[in-house]
Structure 1
Amino acid sequence: MKNKLKTLAALASLTLSTNAAVVGIDVIDDGNGIATTTGVLDTTSRTWSTVGTASLDGIDDLTITVSGATDSGTGNRNPALTLFKDYQYTVGGTINVTISGLNDLKNYNLAVFMGQWYVSSGSTSFLRGGEATVTTANTTHPSAESTTGDSFDTYLEGVNYVQFDNLTTDGSGNINFTVSNGPEGIGIFNGFEIQSVPEPSSSAMLGLGGLALILYRRK
């Protein structure tokens, strides 16, 4: 499957090693329409190791669909922070994203990037952000989270991205979210990251069991 899709509906199929900590998509503007790339995130350098297919938690059929964007563009992010500099956007509409093939027994943390600073008309600049809503999962945050998009040199929650923690699937392996209008009436979508919430290790559980036994014996 091609990494670059020149239609308003982008479908990316993913197969990475099962120990990949973070996977997701990064929007790319190729000058001819909307495109996406998939990969594994290096959380230190904030760069993708680009691949065509990937898996998370040992599931080999993780798929991502994106639809509803009006157009795409390239932003002016600090050259040292190239990840998520390009974007899809919607004017008065909704961008729909579905992540399929997830483990219904797992919880997931999701970061949605909507913080690109869009510049046009010469020196005239506009602050762009977006509002993300998770539609088929439980959330520990309010269901809608917004960014301001008022900096392109950072990765800050509430400015460049929003975070949803401990999400569950809809029972069929899916997590859905939407991106809609930000503070300037345009919804910006730069990409997302998803990772599973680590489960307590067996050694940690044994340690807790031993501690409980000690406390019980002291009674």
Structure 2
Amino acid sequence: MKTLLTTMSALALGALTANAVTLASYDSGVAAQAGAAGAADPTSQGWSAVIGTNTYLVGQDTGNGGWNLSDGTNSGVVYYEHSLDAAATTEMANGWTLDFTVASDNDLFDTGGGSLDNWVTSSRQQANVWIENSTAGYFYLLTITHDPADGSVSIGDGTNTFLVGTDLVSQQVGDGAPAMNFIDFTLTYDAGTGTATLTDSEGGNNAIASAGTGSSDRLIFGTTSSGSLGSTTWNSVTLDSVPEPSSALLTGLGGLALILRRRK
């Protein structure tokens, strides 16, 4: 009986995930770790770039496992946007998951005479992930903030801020390669309850508040503020739909229930 139940459960889970659709994704193509070079340009994977005039660096992070976005000593918006068409919003009607892997750098630069200057202050160490849907009316804007003083990383939803962990911020001297501390995040939207939950690889699990009513259909990563980037390295961003249970699955579960009744 236990073997039968395990088998049927596995088939049911397989049916639930078999038809998931990837609606937007960025894959750097390299490992999320120091020493991994050659990250892909997001624009080569269907993303539109919005890059301010004061950005310091946008491109492959030198051997650091992803695509780096930095605004340097000045401030400038820099983000990548992916439109979600009508087919995508239809796919999202049953729910979705947004997975992203990102690391934060505390950059130090030689200002002359061997003196190192930390041009990034704690107030500017921020990055955003933004997902908006006009049909369902939700708008989630997550802000990742890191503090160079203690290496802590937090994430906020506009209502609450959650500590992800400490000693997670990498220190980078010039354009060198630090030991990167990548964090995996998963934002899951349950269409049935209209709620979202964020989990992370440091053990966090938090209910996330919507930042408002969506008026567009798009996914963004980078920063949407001209005064709050700092330096971040993005390894991957993936938006997947959650499919509706298929008729085959429902039939299978009904058959399982019948078998269990007969065995009793």
What is the TM-score with the length of structure 2 in the denominator? 0.43
Where is the helix percentage greater, Structure 1 or Structure 2? 2
Q: Which has the larger radius of gyration?
A: 2
